[in-house]
Structure 1
Amino acid sequence: MLWRKLVALLSVFVYQSDLTHAALVERRIDDTQGDSATGLRPVYLPAEGVWNGLDCSQCQLKPDIARVFGGTYSEATYRPARGIVSVDIQFEGVAIDVYFILAPFSARLTTLTECLFILDGGEPATFRYQPGAEDTEFIYEHSVFSRTDLPDANHTLRITVPEVPHELFLNFDYAIYMYAGLF
C-alpha cells in the first residue's frame, strides 16, 4: 500500500520548529464522494452517457458492492466511435496511488482494461490488463498507478484511454494521496 512506500520518506517531511509540526497524512478520493478532506470530486468526461455506477441497469459487469471502497465505483466502456473517455483527479500532495476494479474474463463482453495516466500534463504512464479464461473473479483494490516522488503542490491526474480501434473497459474505485499536513 502507498503508506508503506512512504515510510522512508516520512523522516524527510517530518520536521520540528518552535511551534510547527508536519507529517504525511493519508487522504482518499472516492470515485463518487470525492476527496475526504476537500470534498473535490473527480471530473468524468464525457459528462453524460458513458460513465456508470451502481444504478446502471444495462451494465452486465457487476462487482460485489461489499468489496468496493465506499460502496461505489464508476465504470465506462470506451467505444472508438464515441470518442475519448477520461476522469480528472485533483489533489495537493507528495504521492498518489490509484485503485481500479478489474473485470473477469468474458467471451462476449469487453473486459480489457487499458489506460494512460497523465500527471500534470507530463509523459503518460500506461496500464494494461487482459483477463485470461482462467480469470473468473473480479480483482478489487488493484493498484494501477503510483507515484511517490511528487513536489508538495497541487496536481492534476488525468486517467484516459488511448485512441485504439477496439473497445476498452475502465472501473475507477478510489485513489489515495499523501498530503504534507501541518499541525
Structure 2
Amino acid sequence: MVFFTLLLLLLLNCIVARELFNHTIDDMLGDELTGFQVDYSPASQPSNGSELVWKNASHCNDCAIVPDHSLAMNGTWTGVTYYPSLGNTTARLAFHGSAIYVYLIISNYPKSTGFVSDAICDFRMDGEVVGSYSHETDGSYHVQYDVLAYSNASLSDEDHTLLIETTGTEPSYIIFDYAVYTYVVGMVARFHTDYLKEHAVLCPATKPVHTTSLVYFK
C-alpha cells in the first residue's frame, strides 16, 4: 500500500508544462533559430535574366521608393514591384510553430508620381489561401514600418510553409521586413520530495520540439 501511495505522489509531482518561444524570420538574415533563409521567386525578370525581381537596399541604387533601412528590423528589407506580366511573385517562409505574424513596410507615394505604391498580396499557408492584405496609398509620401499584414495564432504546432504571394491584374509594391513565429517546447517540472531524492526517482522528460524538416528558400 505504501508503494502505491508513493507511486501516486510521483505521478502527481510530474507536471508537464508547455513554454512558448518567439523567433524572428528576417527578410535577409533568415530564421534566427534554424538559419533557414527566405526563398524569393522569381529571382529575375523573364525578359532580362540579369534584372532582379526582388530587391533589397543593396540592390536599390535606382529604385524609386527606398525605405529607411535604419527603421527596418535588423536594418534590412526586401521588396518587389509586381506587374501582371510577372504572373506571380512569392516570398516563402518555412517554420515549425503554432502561430505566425508577418510585418511589411508600406509606402504611400501619390499615384500622380507614376510609382507603384499600393500593396496587395495573399497569404498561402500549406497550400491554402488563408488571408490577404490590401493597402491603397494615401498619397502622403509617408512610409509605414512594422505593419502587421497577417497573423495566425491557431496553427497546429508542426512544420508549416507560408507564401506571401502577389498575383492578378493590379500592380503592387510589397516590402517584406520580418515575421515572428511561436513554437512550443514541452518541459517537465519536478517537485522532488526527500523520498524521490533518496531513491533517485525521476519523472520522464519530453524533448524540446523546435526542429523542422522543411528547407527554406527570425
Into which bin does the TM-score normalised by the smaller protein fall?
Answer: 0.7 to 0.9
Equivalent of 1:51 in 43, 47, 54: 54
What is the CA distance between 1:105 and its match in structure 2? 2.2
- 2:103 aligned with 1:99, yes or no? yes
TM-score by length of 2: 0.72
In the comparison of the two structures, how many residue pairs are matched? 166
% identical aligned pairs: 29
What is the CA distance between 1:19 and its match in structure 2? 8.1
Runs of 4+ in structure 1 deviating by more than 6 angstroms, as ranges, are none
Structure 2 partner of 1:159: 164
TM-score by length of 1: 0.85
Equivalent of 1:142 in 144, 147, 151: 147
- In structure 1, distance between residues paired with 2:129 and 2:103: 20
What is the CA distance between 1:104 and its match in structure 2? 1.6
- In structure 2, distance between residues paired with 1:86 and 1:71: 22
- The letter for the 2-side match of 1:146 is S
- In structure 2, distance between residues paired with 1:86 and 1:70: 22
What is the CA distance between 1:22 and its match in structure 2? 2.9
Structure 2 partner of 1:42: 38
Equivalent of 2:123 in 113, 117, 122: 117
Task: From the two aligned structures, give the one with the greater strand fraction.
Answer: 2
- In structure 2, distance between residues paired with 1:157 and 1:90: 6
- In structure 1, distance between residues paired with 2:35 and 2:42: 21
Equivalent of 1:128 in 127, 134, 147: 134
What is the CA distance between 1:182 and its match in structure 2? 3.7
- In structure 1, distance between residues paired with 2:25 and 2:183: 12
Equivalent of 1:77 in 76, 81, 95: 81
SS at match of 2:70: helix
Task: From the two aligned structures, give the one with the greater helix fraction.
Answer: 2
What is the CA distance between 1:73 and its match in structure 2? 0.4
